[in-house]
Structure 1
Amino acid sequence: MRIQWRLMDFPRNVKRWVAGKLENCHLAMFTLCYNQFTSFHTMLDAALEPMFWIVDHFTKYMGPIMVTLVVILTTMVVAVFYICVFPHIWYQTEMLWVMVHFFFAHWLLANVIFNYVMAAFTSPGLPPQNVPQAVSICKKCISPKPPRSHHCSICKRCILKMDHHCPWLNNCVGYYNHRYFFLFCFYMWFGTVYVTFAGHDVFKQHFFGKEELTVPAFFFPINMAYQKIWGTKYETKKAEAASSSKSPSTDDQSPEALTGYGDMMFHNAIIFQFILCAGVSVALGLLMVWHAHLIGRGETSIEAHINTKQRKRYRKKGLIYKNPYNFGFWGNWKRFFGLGRGRTFWRHVLFPSFHDPLGDGLMWETSTYKSSHSNGLQLL
């Protein structure tokens, strides 16, 4: 009976022994590393410090590379659209729809180029030494910080209404170029979706290989260019072979081999464009939705984290925290686009516009709320 009792008690003793060892390890760790100011966020920041160091020291060098990559990929997509997709549209649809595609595609392209150039080369806004209202002193710049300003560890300076540092722009997104950044994301996403749908038929024909091309091969400028360049060389070689009583060779320089090479390039270009645009449309769409959500709430990316902590802190005290720069969904969008003083959505958002945001980025109007027993806090 005693042996049976000890066997039944064995798992419980093992569990108690393991729990005791873990408790001793936990006590030893706190004895050596205890700090009353330590929290989960502090330990997470310490653990991620190597990654922050890498970002701070290498992002500024990756910026020019990523900007060059954006320019190259965009140029390739536009070139493939002109050479492969647009002739397909021309051949299959009526002239009215061809003109609609023509003007719509160029409207998108003009907005993409304009907003990207402005977002990349417009200064996001730097606070002056003398500011009318300062909320704190920057520990790195040793200068007063206006409301909504933050220090960029990559640019080594404070930015007015800083949202984030974008390596794809090699620039900070702040007060003066935030609108350009968002419109670039929107029009680039819209453009990739448009190219994906416009070239879907051609992509299916090439990817699945069940149908021949609807458009004749001679219609495409790329095939015509190859035939013009290499066909002349082949005729020259044929004449030389005839003069020397030799039959023309069918090596890699022949039009037959050339046509296969041109078809392969055309085939790869169609598939590359579709896969690239489809992938970018998904990734850029998610990024655009996130920023649209923040703009609708009157927040930047940095303020979203700050306001989340503030809400948790106020909730513990039984209070409700409200973002002081939130003027309602439509009010936030109007302020973001700078619509006022006679500016309209149709002229200053749908088409390229150089207009500045409302205000100076130093003084900010804040919203006020009233308390209601039935509806809680309401925006005035």
Structure 2
Amino acid sequence: MRPCSSVMHLLLRCLRGCGRHGRSHMPRRLRQPVSYIKLIFKSLYFNSLTNSEVVLDCILEPVFWMVEVVTRWFGMVFVFLVVALTSSVVFIAYFCLLPLVLYTYSPGWMMWHICYGHWNLVMIVFHYYKATNTPPGYPPKMKNDVPFVSFCKKCVIPKPARSHHCGICKTCILKMDHHCPWLNNCVGHYNHRYFFSFCLFLTLGCMYCSISGRYLFIDAYNAIDEVSQPPYTYKDRMFHKSVIYMWVLTSTVAVALGGLTLWHAVLITRGETSIERHINNKEAKRLAKRGRVYRNPFSYGKLNNWKVFFGVEKRSHWLTRVLLPSGHTPYGDGLTWDIYPFKKDMMPV
């Protein structure tokens, strides 16, 4: 940072220079206002802290603003698409595939498809509803007795550990992972489990539809190619097109969402969020240059991270809180966190 005297000297030189430059081009009464305006303009970009990153952020600010506006206003559209596409698959499963299962499958396979399909559907609907309607958690507006690690310049409030500001929601989020447009909501401390469970069970449901319907898809695809057959009716064509639509949609979603779910599973195993992953990588590289090893202070060990994430406190909770719908609150309040509890089991089972 330059000394104050140097900065004042530079400003005075600019002011004199502007005055001399404009002496022969404009009336005397306009020289001082014009020089003052030029000085103000130069002060906007003269800063000893200015670097390439600041300039790049300023250039890309309109792009960030546009993304925030589009995401905010089209959030309900994304939610509608999720509901509409999921409902279309359920409709095809009930009115096209279920009658076929009841008439052609053995009693054992029939019970399997009915029980698993309905369980998977209930888990998808429950967790999506909770993920979209559960607030992610917000830090208190005033600092009480909670330790804060930084200060949000946009919210003008203190921030606890693992909290970050969301430009779309215009507020800070406790243990923020990301803002999900498909939920029209931020993923944070209180709805992170619902988000991951929704992704997991929707992936399993799409894989189930894709694997169990692969032979129906092949038959439907071949039948549409053989349109010249006389008994091929409009009802048959609609049935085959519905099967093709369902198989292509579920297979595509299974691959795309499966990759996202796997990535979040890796983050949960490490005790990180999506934002913390980038922060920890930078910190690990910085310490590596000094010959030191970075340890994530919020990781409790691989198994403990999953216990803390799902709220598993005893063996029965793997069934009642993970494999069945559960609205229990997550571990902790999102404001304070245990640091380096590697040598103890946070939630013994």
TM-score of the alignment, normalized to the shorter chain, above 0.5: yes
SS in structure 1 of the partner of residue 233 of structure 2 = helix
Q: Which letter does structure 1 place at the counterpart of 2:51?
A: T
Q: Retained in 2: the 8 A contact 1:189–1:284?
A: yes
Q: Determine the structure 2 residue equivalent to 1:294.
A: 267
Whichever of the two has the greater Rg, that structure is: 1
Deviates more, 1:64-73 or 1:190-199: 190-199
Distance 1:87 1:168 in 2: 32
SS in structure 2 of the partner of residue 209 of structure 1 = helix
Structure 1 residues 315 and 298, CA gap change in structure 2 (3 angstroms): same
**2:253 pairs with 280, 284, 297, which one?**
280
**2:177 pairs with 163, 172, 189, which one?**
163
- Give TM-score scaled by structure 1 length: 0.72
- Give TM-score scaled by structure 2 length: 0.79
Residue 177 of structure 1 pairs with residue 150 of structure 2: no
Structure 1 residues 43 and 260, CA gap change in structure 2 (3 angstroms): farther
Q: Which letter does structure 1 place at the counterpart of 2:66?
A: I
Aligned residues between the structures: 296
SS in structure 2 of the partner of residue 75 of structure 1 = helix
Question: How much has 1:37 moved relative to structure 2?
Answer: 5.8
Q: Which letter does structure 2 place at the counterpart of 1:358?
A: Y
Q: Retained in 1: the 8 A contact 2:301–2:342?
A: no
Question: How much has 1:210 moved relative to structure 2?
Answer: 9.0
User: Percent of aligned pairs with the same residue?
Assistant: 47
Q: Determine the structure 1 residue equivalent to 2:289.
A: 316
Distance 1:341 1:205 in 2: 48
Distance 1:329 1:123 in 2: 27
Q: Determine the structure 2 residue equivalent to 1:188.
A: 202
Structure 1 residues 187 and 305, CA gap change in structure 2 (3 angstroms): same
**1:51 pairs with 63, 87, 101, which one?**
63
Q: Which letter does structure 2 place at the counterpart of 1:65?
A: V
Deviations 1:21-63 (A, max 9, x none): xxxxxxxxxxx99977635x55664554343222111101110
Residue 335 of structure 1 pairs with residue 347 of structure 2: no
SS in structure 2 of the partner of residue 144 of structure 1 = strand
Residue 124 of structure 1 pairs with residue 136 of structure 2: yes
The aligned runs of 1:21-60 (5 Å cut-off) are: 38=51, 45-46=57-58, 48-60=60-72
**1:76 pairs with 70, 74, 88, which one?**
88
Structure 1 residues 37 and 316, CA gap change in structure 2 (3 angstroms): farther
Question: How much has 1:369 moved relative to structure 2?
Answer: 6.8
**1:110 pairs with 122, 137, 143, which one?**
122
Structure 1 residues 323 and 262, CA gap change in structure 2 (3 angstroms): same
Q: Retained in 2: the 8 A contact 1:85–1:198?
A: no
Q: Which letter does structure 1 place at the counterpart of 2:101?
A: I
Distance 1:289 1:43 in 2: 36
Distance 1:67 1:128 in 2: 29
Q: Which runs of 5+ in 1 are unaligned?
A: 1-31, 213-255, 371-378
Structure 1 residues 343 and 125, CA gap change in structure 2 (3 angstroms): farther
Q: Which runs of 5+ in 2 are unaligned?
A: 1-44
Q: Retained in 2: the 8 A contact 1:85–1:202?
A: no
Distance 1:359 1:368 in 2: 14
Q: Retained in 1: the 8 A contact 2:224–2:237?
A: no
Q: Retained in 2: the 8 A contact 1:295–1:333?
A: yes
RMSD over equivalenced CA pairs, Å:
2.7
Deviates more, 1:182-191 or 1:42-51: 42-51
SS in structure 1 of the partner of residue 74 of structure 2 = helix
The aligned runs of 1:345-356 (5 Å cut-off) are: 345-356=318-329
Structure 1 residues 360 and 169, CA gap change in structure 2 (3 angstroms): same
Distance 2:287 2:55 in 1: 23
